[in-house]
Amino acid sequence: MFLKIPKAIACNPALSLRELSNTLGVSRKQVQLFVKSQTGMEFRAVRKICRLCHSVSLLASGHSIKETALNCGYNHPGNYTRAVKKYLGVAPSELLKTTTVS
């Protein structure tokens, strides 16, 4: 059951802890403890990394910044832009220029 967690997060980076625990039929605490034991990071950090990795692939496939932000679970493109700048050190518009497949 817990082996489904990484795939679930990767397939749906916007997945909340509550949604994931309900899907698996376990408590949120069990999910948190499992993720922490496997990665050394909190669920939120793992989800954020998954969101950002997924967002790069969306940008590369031609999605707009707004589409990418919403698809990855950000409520507003500005929140997504701040997260990308903070964790990847570059604005999404720069990623869009460097990763778009022609």
pLDDT digit string, tens, across residues 24-61 = 899 999 999 998 998 899 998 888 888 888 899 899 89
Q: Report how far apart the first and last C-alpha atoms of the chain are (Å, whole number).
A: 40
CATH code linked to domain 4-99: 1.10.10.60
Q: What is the mean pLDDT of residues 59-80?
A: 91
- pLDDT over 80 (residue 9): no
- Conformational region of residue 39, where left means phi above 0, alpha means psi within -120 to 50, and beta covers everything else: alpha
pLDDT value for 2: 64
Residue 18 pLDDT exceeds 80: yes
What local confidence, expressed as pLDDT, does residue 1 receive?
59
**C-alpha separations of 73 from 4, 20, 33, 37, 48 in Å:** 20, 14, 23, 25, 10
- Neighbouring CB atoms inside 10 A of 87's CB total 12
Listed by start position, the domains of the chain span: 4-99
- What average pLDDT does the segment 8-24 reach? 83
Over range 64-84, report the average pLDDT: 92
Contact 55, 68 (CB under 8 A): yes
Q: Rounded to whole angstroms, how far apart are CA atoms 86 and 78? A: 12
* Nearest in space to 57 (alpha carbons), one of 15, 11, 99, 6: 99
Residue 100 has pLDDT above 80, yes or no: no
